[in-house]
């Protein structure tokens, strides 16, 4: 059976979207894909509808680097309501328990936050997209089921108190892949002694991309409406280059002979190569053409070719 032919432009780049509230990540991807008339699009880590902020959307060949953004550190600002726990860990869920909020001074609070900084164990929530025996956990949760979930190792690289109110805290957390902020808030609430749920969540950073570099859907829509039909020049100015997602990794430039060998899957000798598991590969025209890795003895082996 023949494959369905893709429609749309063969455009490559990354849209640093400021995802609005009440919109799923997948719906955001589809709207951006339609605006750019791209033949391929994907995001780099879901944001719940109740969360806003940085959602990099990869178009065309840039989808080949989405996994590296998915694995990158992220920074969130979130407000947690103290004194209540809910079934979902956020304001959408049913209130399960209410407790008085104890009086706690700032130094005591900072000591509690310190316990959740560094390498920690976290049990994923039932309301998540993880699977148990082939079924999404959130689907089981909606059926009233709860299954055992193994704890996962992760790292909270920074946890900062932004605002302290009588019944709420606003924090900023920089964390590794797979961190559930809802669970972090719940665990902090339990450590305080009153429980908590997330009432506001905003992603500020994903990998190298920050909220001040982002663009809203409203702005993209406005640019599209002001452009002539079939003219995408103004929209394309909003795109980041494919290698912008990889700027934290070292790079090597290759003459055409070695570029061709790498593109054919061959490893090449490089005495001065950085001994790193991921290296950006550039041609003589300063355009990235793939990713490689260092391996013994002083070889660079291709991992992914974009051409």
Tokens matching residue 184: 């972090």
Where residue 75 falls (left for φ over 0; alpha for ψ -120 to 50; beta otherwise) is: beta
Active site residue 248: no
Tokens matching residue 44: 């780099």
Q: Cα dihedral angle (120, 84, 81, 155), rounded to 10 degrees?
A: 10
The string of DSSP letters for 63-116 reads GGGHHHHHTS-EEEEEEEEESEEESSSBTTSPEEEE-PPPP--HHHHHHHHHHT
Tokens matching residue 261: 């060998």
Residue 148 CA to residue 100 CA, distance in Å, equals 29
Residue 26's H or E segment, with its range, is: helix 25-36
Q: Which of 61, 18, 23 is nearest to 213 (CA)?
A: 18
The residues pairing with 288 across neighbouring beta strands, listed in sequence order, are: 282
Residue 188 CA to residue 113 CA, distance in Å, equals 7
Active site residue: 10, 18, 48, 167, which one? 48
Residues annotated catalytic, as ranges: 48
């Amino acid at each position: 059976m023949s494959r369905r032919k893709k429609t749309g432009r063969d455009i490559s780049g990354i849209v640093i979207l400021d995802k609005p509230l009440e919109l799923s990540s997948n719906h955001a991807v589809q709207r951006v894909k339609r605006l750019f008339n791209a033949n391929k699009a994907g995001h780099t880590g879901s944001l719940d509808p109740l969360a806003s902020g940085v959602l990099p959307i990869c178009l065309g060949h840039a989808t080949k680097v989405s996994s590296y953004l998915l694995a990158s550190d992220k920074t969130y600002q979130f407000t947690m309501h103290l004194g209540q726990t809910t079934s979902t860990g956020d304001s959408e869920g049913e209130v399960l328990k209410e407790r008085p909020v104890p009086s706690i001074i700032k130094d005591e609070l900072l000591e509690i936050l310190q316990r959740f900084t560094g390498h920690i164990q976290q049990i994923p929530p039932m309301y998540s997209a993880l699977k148990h025996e082939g079924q999404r956990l959130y689907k089981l949760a909606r059926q009233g089921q709860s299954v055992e979930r193994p704890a996962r190792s992760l790292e909270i690289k920074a946890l900062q108190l932004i605002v302290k109110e009588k019944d709420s805290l606003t924090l900023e957390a920089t964390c590794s892949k797979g961190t559930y902020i809802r669970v972090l808030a719940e665990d902090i609430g339990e450590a305080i002694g009153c429980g908590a749920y997330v009432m506001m969540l905003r992603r500020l950073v994903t990998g190298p991309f920050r909220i001040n570099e982002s663009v809203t859907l409203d702005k993209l829509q406005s640019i599209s409406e002001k452009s002539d039909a079939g003219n995408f020049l103004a929209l394309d100015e909003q795109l980041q280059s494919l290698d912008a997602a990889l700027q934290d990794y070292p790079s090597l430039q290759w003459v055409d002979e070695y570029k061709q060998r790498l593109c054919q899957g061959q490893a090449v000798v490089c005495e001065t190569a950085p001994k790193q598991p991921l290296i950006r590969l550039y041609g003589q025209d300063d355009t990235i053409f793939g990713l490689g890795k260092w391996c013994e003895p002083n070889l660079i082996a291709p991992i992914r070719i974009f051409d």
